[in-house]
Amino acid sequence: MILHICSDAAWKAAQNSGSYTGDTLLSEGFIHCSTRDQVIEVADYVFRGRSGLLLLLIDEAKIGEEIKYEDAGNGKLYPHIYGPLNLDAVMDAVAFPPRDDGTFVLPTSIECVRR
């Protein structure tokens, strides 16, 4: 399973259009994703304090486009989806609110989803 942080509005637009492209696909050619171990670090760095977010739980085996694990400049390999994300690869979209201090924790609802 890989994870992607997106706004609630972007996810609703994707459901209406039938696929998710994300802003990074339009600007950089790929959709940024994270592993379970990386997502909190990404959320705290990029989205600290931001509300209205969802965490997309994506079944890597169902992604219809190319996926590459690439170094993001910090020595860690992050999954990138090259092309739009087909919605049937999304197992769930869960609320991803920040804590009072603006940092994030992994929602307990995804703890039971298999690795």
Determine the Cα–Cα distance for residues 16 and 37; give it in Å rounded to an integer: 30
Domains of the chain, residue spans: 2-110
> Is the pLDDT at 111 greater than 80, yes or no?
no
Mean pLDDT of the chain: 91
Of the chain, the percentage scoring pLDDT greater than 70 comes to: 96
CA distances 103 to 9, 43, 45, 98, Å, are: 21, 8, 9, 5
> Is the pLDDT at 115 greater than 50, yes or no?
no
Tens digits of per-residue pLDDT, 69-92?
A: 999 888 899 999 999 999 999 999
Domain range 2-110, CATH class: alpha beta
Which residue reads 């705290």 in tokens? 44
Short-list 42, 56, 72, 66, CA closest to 8:
56
Determine the Cα–Cα distance for residues 70 and 92; give it in Å rounded to an integer: 24
Q: Which residues pair with 5 in a beta bridge?
A: 55
Contact (CB, 8 A) for 31 and 23? no
Q: 80: part of which helix (H) or strand (E)? A: strand 77-82
> Is the pLDDT at 50 greater than 70, yes or no?
yes
Position with higher pLDDT, 76 vs 112: 76
- The pLDDT, as a whole number, for residue 26 is 84
